[in-house]
Structure formats: C-alpha cells, structure tokens
Amino acid sequence: MNAGTIALIVVIAFMIGLSKGGLGGPVLVALVAPVLSQIMPVSQAVGITLPLLLVGDLMALIAYWRAWDMGYIRLMLPPAIVGVAFGIVLLTVLDDKALRLALGLFSVLIVAYKVGSARLKALAYSPRQWHGVLAGWASGFGSALANVGAPPFIAYMLLQKVDPRPFIGTTTLLFSVINVLKLPIFLATGVLTAQGAISVAWAMLIIPPTVLFGSWAVKHFTPQAFEALMTVLLFIGGLYLIGQGIG
C-alpha cells in the first residue's frame, strides 16, 4: 500500500467516524465508495470499507443502546436481508464499468433524497406496511451494492415522524445487523478478503475518536454548511462515475 492509498484510507476513516458521530449523515458515508473507487475496483472499495463501518457501528450502538424501536426492526429487517442478497449478486456478477454506473446513479439519487428530505416531514402521509417492507428491501440492496442503504430507510422513517433518539437508535441497530450479515458473505464471495481486512485494520483506531469528535461538533457547530458541501461533492462524484460507466 503506497503513501497515497494510506492517506486516502485515513480520510475514509475520518469520514466514517464523523458520519457515525452525526456529522454529515448518510451523505458522508455515501462519498466513501466513490472516493475509493478512483484507486481500486468498485467491489474492492465496497469490501474494504465494511470493517471500518463495523467499528463505527459499534461506537454508535454504545451511544444509542436500547434507543431503537423493535417494531420497525421486525418490519424492515427481513426484506433488508433479501435486498442484501440481491445486492451482493449484482456486486459479484457485474463488471467494474457497470458497477461504476450503478454507484454513480446511487450517488445522484442520494443527492435527490438529501435535497427533498426536509419536505418529507411536511407531507400528508398515510402509513402502509408495504412501504416499510419496500424501504427495508431497498436499504439492504443499497447497503450490499455500495454501502449506501440509509436513504430509503431514513426517508421512510421521516414519514413516520419518529422522535430523534429512537430514530437514530433504530437506524443504528438496523444497519449494524445488516453490516454484520454482509461480513461472512463478502468474505465467502471474495468481495472482502482477509488480506484486505488486515490492510485497513490500523485505520480502525482512527474511528472511535473521530466519532466522538463528530458528536461534539454537531452540538457546537451548525452542520448544515458541511452537509451542503458534502452533497455537492457527492453530486459531482456521482456524475463523474456515471461518465466512467457509460464512456
């Protein structure tokens, strides 16, 4: 691993830690795979990110222990598992060019979600159980294909008008379980290798203090400007990946 790759892994670890600490949210996590895909195949970028996400999940679980709503977990986790299976199939059978196109489209969709998410809370909405099932499936699918499963889940939860702490706790638990389930499948399919996991193990040490810093920063600074910048960067990255996929 050369110096440039090491520096990029450090940046990725900071991004994951800040996101799990509450700064940048799903947009910041969504930037990880597009950034890494510039120096490695998309499937490898998705794979080596998973161990770092698991460390961030552990920190978030500690912070929001038992804050989750098991009703939403029971509704959304089974279809999310099915979505994971679909996502992993595509991740392992599509070539890198097609994966870049898919990742670029996901990135642009996440920007659309971010732009429109504030309006979701104001919508007149009649809950339907199948909405949760569909959101769960899409979350699992996006998580497996590109580690970007949060937006469908968060969009659904915004419509439910859940209080902030159980909202974050439920999000944390669902994606922690999804990421744990992905680990053995990624290893079995070669998306993540033992050597790949070992090569980024040192970066796991960066995440806990960065999670704490992200949590502190959210309370002391206005995160909107930071999130707006990340959204613009994600949009540019998404368009670039789409260009690589169709070029």
Q: Report the distance separating Cα 175 and Cα 150, nearest Å.
A: 8
Q: Which of 5-19, 102-116, 125-139, 163-177 has the lowest mean pLDDT?
A: 102-116
Closest to 25 (Cα-Cα) out of 121, 131, 153, 132: 153
Kindly list the domain boundaries of the chain, sorted by start residue: 3-246
Contact 234, 29 (CB under 8 A): no
Contacts of 79 (CB under 8 A, 6+ apart): 133, 134, 136, 137, 140
Q: When comparing pLDDT for 51 and 153, which is higher?
A: 51
Q: What is the pLDDT of residue 166?
A: 87
- Average pLDDT on 94-103 reads 85
Q: What is the pLDDT of residue 227?
A: 67
Q: What is the pLDDT of residue 145?
A: 85
Q: What is the pLDDT of residue 106?
A: 76
The CB density around residue 145, as the number of other CB atoms within 10 Å, is 26
DSSP string, 108-138: HHHHHHHHHHHHHTTS-----HHHHHHHHHH
Most confident of 22-36, 37-51, 142-156, 227-241: 37-51
**Residue 58: pLDDT over 90:** yes
The model's pLDDT over 182-218, given as tens digits with 9 standing for 90+, comes to 999 999 999 999 999 999 999 999 999 998 888 887 7
Q: Report the distance separating Cα 109 and Cα 123, nearest Å.
A: 20
Helix (H) or strand (E) holding 26: helix 25-36
Judged by phi (left if over 0) then psi (alpha if -120 to 50, else beta), residue 168 lies in: alpha
Q: What is the pLDDT of residue 118?
A: 61
Q: When comparing pLDDT for 242 and 119, which is higher?
A: 242
68-71, long-range: CB within 8 Å, 24+ apart, which pairs?
68/166, 68/169, 68/170, 68/172, 68/173, 68/174, 69/162, 69/166, 69/169, 69/170
